[in-house]
Structure 1
């Protein structure tokens, strides 16, 4: 009765109720903040950006004003702040993200229409939810249409509006990370406190940049900015850093379509009115269409109206990733080189901006793309350490192969581009300024040589998970069928999602609605009324009604294994029952993840090869630039530069092509280079006593050094089954030494096929009366 009363007193969060709560409690704050945001944005656009103020000029003053307000808040609430506990790293992350948000907003405002900037910035925090797959396909399509319409209707050049949309994309990422981090602080620290203290941190972060910029432009100061530009800055600081985040947070807490529609539609209408007033009654039809497409495309579904739980802090998540990266020698090398590359790129970019050198800035941008490729390799190395789960039952080790293949394709495309560009420059030699090429190339060569030295041992790396041969995995798939191998001794289970028809020679990997249950037992008895080639006990899946035809049953004597890990929620890991009973022995049909470090020929990592070749390509590029620069200085002919580029492109393509071929074979499930070993191992099966025959051998590569295998074996009846004195109808087939046959098949295949990590053996019975 108590449970009944407790459940009957719950409040249902329907969309009407949530919209009512939002409209009565927060409607005035939402409308007021939207009016202030639109007024400040239009004033900042017209009075500052259009009058010659730079983005950095506006950014520094907005952040300075917000820091001044934060100082007042901290001074009046210092006693309560002392009692609050918080993480400095989380607040520091919020400060950097706030700086990125404001900088991106002002950058986009200087290049795109104001109404469009306001609409896309308000929608920025909802894009991760849209792209994560929690919304309908129609909403995603409509949102993509809105973005396409916005880009296609731009009247300025691509060079002018492209940085604006890139800034909005970065703004959305910063909003998502800011929201993720703030949720870890608000339960204990409070949203207002977090905003105020993080605003102070933003000022501290921005101050060194301002001093550096001031030292570079000591004589160039802006003097023709009208005094009205300063009037818009306090309101911009208040709306961008305080009111709008607070309103967005309250709307996010309710997670209702009513709150979203109220905030988004009111902002659109208010911004449209400001646009009509500022542009002589010209109605922004296209921007209104884009806004209402986004309102429909980003409107939360009813299933998303549940309040978010506090999430793990971004800093904590990054710390766990960093710990994983540094604990592995391969990923640690990539990480150190990536940090060195990023540092050199930043110094090169700042020095290029300071000296106004286009060559340095271009080389810094080129290094940024290199860092992206190396970062992709680092992320692949991190993903390879993730444990298998219910969706990816074989783990994530193939991501490294995919990363190496992608890096190889990227380098091949670069080589082709270099060849065409070099041919064009040989035909029409351009004028070159070699004043800083030698310095930049020498520094780049030093950085790349360090990278090659750090990754020089990649070909000796053996991919190892070091689980040991005792480890037991339960591959629990989410399909409606399973293929279970139940060992009578320890109840170990494989759920591979295979379906096998009862006809000979037929092998299908489809998700059907039945389960084939293969039991390994020392003795099997076959019913005289079931002389079929396959003898399976077919059970109906719990997800389907049992309407399948009942096959002839195979008499089994298998003891029940309590706690068999075949449930969908089973976590991959060690099986205590298996370890306690079979710690000393290797069991057939188990998952063996103990990779040997001795397989140097096959133990290389495609991911490390891809990163290493990327570094080698940069090293060759630096060497080529140094040689061509010296030759140009001595002989004065600029044709040496494209000739060196052709030579470098040829070397890059020749070194990358084997990587692309090897990785492509793994991704295409090609085992051609191991075909001889597989054939020899299969031939040895014929000599196993008690094995009648085998069929459907399947072997495919999991990654560069491991294979997965599956095979059907037919057991031969023992000689005692054929008693000529008994009638044929009463004869019973018996199969002896089943465990011995399984162990022999497992041992022969694993010893004969190098890198065979997982082997599934499916037992069948031969028809004894044929």
Structure 2
């Protein structure tokens, strides 16, 4: 088998198996593969309310940071500003993705979620870099920080962020858009913890450098999380094999279905992190009903891997040259 990273949508084959209806009429309008309205209102509602609470607290935190002189609070307020924008993008992505497919966009608007996640990851990177830069400036020119006001504002922020984290965590963790929103809130939560720690140390010892030090520490954690989201979104946009799947393993599961003589040209990719798709060629054993085997293959892929959209082409004897391996994964262009 070749590398498992080859997952690509199928090109024009003569005998693609579509249960009913046509691709040109829009998926989800009669072919049994619903791509238009699958994102639940629950995810959209969760992101909306977390966005509202984040925006309200952002104003309070920025004010508290300015009055106390705390870089940790100001940095976290800036982070929450980016989070408000990011959560708005996530909310809009969920709204758009629920729109039905049409003649121009036969898979609907699901990919907008992935674009929003990519943008969110990029903003996390920029915010973290800015905080690190400001921290270096604080080391060169120390600023007095008022520990009392800083502690109060940071503690309120911690409560808000814990609430937002719990709301989003109960959503669909497979959705990269939801995960990016969750990571933004996690970054805010870490920022609040850092600000509380810095405030307590300043009140106890008067040591001001702890404020920029903890700011840098949180920024490095945010960078790591941001990279994870960017990598996941990039893999989806490049139509790579979804996380947690391996092309050869999928091939072996298909080949194990009774009546299958061989499987070729396997493509596995994701429209989003949770809407998985596959296409491949099947060779059937003599006398086996094609419809029965295809139904069994679809059921196995859905149960075993969560792949809900499957395009199958049944090859006639002799379609593949002698010596062709019974299983392989390749880009069939």
For residues 2-13 of structure 1, the aligned pairs below 5 Å read none
Q: Which residue of 1 aligns with 2:154?
A: 441
Q: Which residue of 2 aligns with 1:265?
A: none
Secondary structure of the corresponding residue to residue 245 of structure 2: helix
Q: Which residue of 1 aligns with 2:199?
A: 629
Which digits, 9 at most, give the CA deviation of each residue in 1:667-722, with x for residues without a partner? 2222174224212124336x627x6x554332222221232222234567x7xxxx
CA contact (8 A) 2:68 2:146 kept: no
CA pair 449-332 structure 1, distance change in 2 beyond 3 A: same
Q: Which residue of 1 aligns with 2:296?
A: 747
CA contact (8 A) 1:376 1:403 kept: yes
Secondary structure of the corresponding residue to residue 312 of structure 2: strand
CA distance in 2, matches of 1:328, 1:694: 38
Q: Indicate the RMSD between aligned Cα atoms, in angstroms.
A: 3.4
Q: Which residue of 2 aligns with 1:609?
A: 179
CA pair 750-664 structure 1, distance change in 2 beyond 3 A: farther
**CA-CA distance at 1:749 after TM superposition:** 5.2
CA pair 604-709 structure 1, distance change in 2 beyond 3 A: closer
Q: Which residue of 1 aligns with 2:56?
A: 343
For residues 461-610 of structure 1, the aligned pairs below 5 Å read 461=172, 604-610=174-180
CA contact (8 A) 1:684 1:748 kept: no
For residues 66-215 of structure 1, the aligned pairs below 5 Å read none
Q: Which residue of 1 aligns with 2:245?
A: 674
CA contact (8 A) 2:60 2:153 kept: no
CA distance in 1, matches of 2:241, 2:199: 47
Gaps of 5+ in 2: 1-36, 323-333
CA contact (8 A) 2:148 2:199 kept: no
CA contact (8 A) 2:69 2:145 kept: no
Taking structure 2 as the reference length, what is the TM-score of the superposition?
0.69
CA distance in 2, matches of 1:763, 1:423: 63
CA pair 384-440 structure 1, distance change in 2 beyond 3 A: same
CA distance in 2, matches of 1:394, 1:688: 31
CA distance in 1, matches of 2:103, 2:121: 31
- For the pair shown, the structure with the greater C-alpha radius of gyration is 1
**CA-CA distance at 1:619 after TM superposition:** 1.6
**CA-CA distance at 1:744 after TM superposition:** 0.7
Q: Does 1:662 align with 2:196?
A: no
Q: Does 1:652 align with 2:203?
A: no
CA distance in 2, matches of 1:614, 1:663: 15
Q: Which residue of 2 aligns with 1:266?
A: none
CA pair 359-382 structure 1, distance change in 2 beyond 3 A: farther
Higher relative contact order (CA 8 A, sep 6+): 2
Q: Which residue of 1 aligns with 2:270?
A: 701
CA distance in 1, matches of 2:198, 2:131: 15
Which digits, 9 at most, give the CA deviation of each residue in 1:306-340, with x for residues without a partner? xxxxxxxxxxxxxxxxxx9xx72211111112222
CA pair 746-698 structure 1, distance change in 2 beyond 3 A: farther
Which digits, 9 at most, give the CA deviation of each residue in 1:480-500, with x for residues without a partner? xxxxxxxxxxxxxxxxxxxxx
Q: Does 1:399 align with 2:137?
A: no
Taking structure 1 as the reference length, what is the TM-score of the superposition?
0.32
Secondary structure of the corresponding residue to residue 269 of structure 2: strand
CA distance in 2, matches of 1:347, 1:700: 43
Q: Which residue of 1 aligns with 2:164?
A: 451
Q: Which residue of 1 aligns with 2:255?
A: 683
CA distance in 2, matches of 1:435, 1:714: 73
CA contact (8 A) 1:742 1:761 kept: no
Q: Which residue of 2 aligns with 1:761?
A: 312
CA distance in 2, matches of 1:338, 1:741: 50
CA distance in 2, matches of 1:337, 1:761: 42
CA distance in 2, matches of 1:346, 1:427: 28
Gaps of 5+ in 1: 1-323, 462-602, 719-735
Q: Which residue of 2 aligns with 1:620?
A: 190
CA pair 656-754 structure 1, distance change in 2 beyond 3 A: same
Secondary structure of the corresponding residue to residue 109 of structure 2: coil
